[in-house]
Amino acid sequence: MEDVLKHIDVYDPRFCVAVIAIIFNPFFWNVVARWEHRTRGLTRLFGGPYLACYCLGTLIILLNVYRSHSMTVAMKP
C-alpha cells in the first residue's frame, strides 16, 4: 500500500478536482432526483416529464464526461 500512496500527491490541484468530481456526481444525482420526486420542479421548469428527464439525463452524462476527463488529467504524469 505504501508503494501506491507514494505515487499520489494529495496537494496536486488536478487530483483535488478529480476527487471533488467523483464525490459530487452521485451526490448531485441523488439530491436532484429526490427534489424532482418530491416537488416535480424540473417537470414544471421544462414543461413536461419527458423533456425534464432527457435534460437531467443529458446533464448527468455531461457530468460523467467531466469526471472522466478530470480523472484522466489527474493520472497523467
pTM of the model: 0.83
DSSP single-letter state for residue 36: H
> What is the overall mean pLDDT for the chain?
93
Residues 6 or more apart in contact with residue 45 via CB below 8 angstroms: 52
The pLDDT of residue 1 is 79
Q: Can you give the residue range of the structural domain that contains 68?
A: 3-75
Q: How far apart are CA 40 and CA 34, in angstroms?
A: 9
Alpha-carbon distances, residue 39 vs 8, 35, 45, 57 (angstroms): 42, 6, 11, 18
Q: How far apart are CA 2 and CA 53, in angstroms?
A: 44
Number of structural domains (the chain) is: 1
Residue with grid cell 469526471, as numbered in its chain: 67
Q: Residue 6: which pLDDT band, with cuts at 50, 70 and 90?
A: confident
pLDDT above 90 for 9? no
